[in-house]
């Protein structure tokens, strides 16, 4: 039986509060998950849970859907005058799994993007998206935000007993273009020529 432990490490009483957002990656459609944080437990079947706290250190614990594991399953959040985002990666229990990380460069902070691996889509607004996979070969494709292109946009990866990281580079789809002129010299008048 799964149980959820809660701890409060005593946030300070500074004026004001700040959002701490837990975002689930790999959540099965409609499945519920919970986070214990700052003396309370919140549950949702959506992808985010948001708490509002003052500056301080707070422990958290994650209760994933039945048949799933969470990484991290618990930890500590430190709030220092700004919002905090905590990605939670959910994956099926059973079998040895290894991290497949997609690390992006080129997107502004907070812009959403996605990866589809063997038909399963995982959304992210963080620079790195991590999946936990068993050994095997997987097809992937990257879903860029509007007006962006990405390289590589698709391919295959093989997990073989260890972690793997793929680097993704995003570019604007509306990059500036400029004309290039080729001027010939020395051909008789009327002689055709071409550039390839």
Contact (Cβ atoms closer than 8 angstroms) between residue 122 and residue 26: yes
Q: Please give the pLDDT value at position 176.
A: 58
The pLDDT tens digits along the chain (196 residues) read 444 444 444 444 445 899 999 999 988 888 999 999 998 999 999 999 999 999 999 999 999 998 889 999 999 999 999 999 999 999 888 778 899 999 999 999 889 999 999 888 999 999 999 998 988 899 999 999 998 999 999 999 999 889 999 999 999 887 655 567 787 888 888 888 888 7
Q: Are 18 and 25 in contact (CB under 8 A)?
A: no
Looking at domain 95-177, its CATH architecture is: Sandwich (2.60)
**Residues 135, 96: Cα–Cα separation, whole Å:** 8
CA–CA dist 47, 70 (Å, integer): 13
Domain ranges of the chain: 1-94, 95-177
On the question of a common fold for 1-94 and 95-177, the answer reads yes
CATH of domain 1-94: 2.60.40.10
């Amino acid at each position: 039986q799964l149980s959820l432990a809660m701890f409060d490490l005593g946030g300070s009483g500074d004026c004001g509060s700040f959002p701490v957002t837990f975002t689930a990656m790999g959540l099965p459609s409609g499945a519920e998950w919970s986070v214990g944080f700052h003396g309370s437990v919140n549950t949702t079947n959506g992808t985010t849970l948001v708490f509002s706290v003052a500056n301080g250190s707070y422990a958290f614990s994650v209760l994933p859907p039945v048949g799933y594991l969470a990484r991290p399953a618990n930890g500590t959040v430190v709030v220092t005058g700004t919002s905090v985002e905590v990605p939670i990666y959910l994956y099926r229990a059973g079998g040895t799994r290894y991290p497949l990380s997609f690390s992006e460069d080129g997107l502004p902070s907070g812009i959403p993007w996605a990866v589809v691996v063997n038909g399963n889509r995982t959304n992210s607004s963080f620079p790195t998206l991590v999946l936990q996979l068993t050994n095997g070969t997987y097809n992937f494709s990257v879903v860029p935000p509007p007006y962006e292109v990405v390289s590589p946009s698709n391919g295959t990866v093989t997990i073989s007993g260890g972690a793997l990281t793929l680097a993704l580079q995003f570019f604007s789809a509306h990059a500036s273009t400029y004309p290039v002129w080729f001027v010939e010299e020395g051909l008789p008048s009327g002689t055709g020529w071409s550039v390839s």
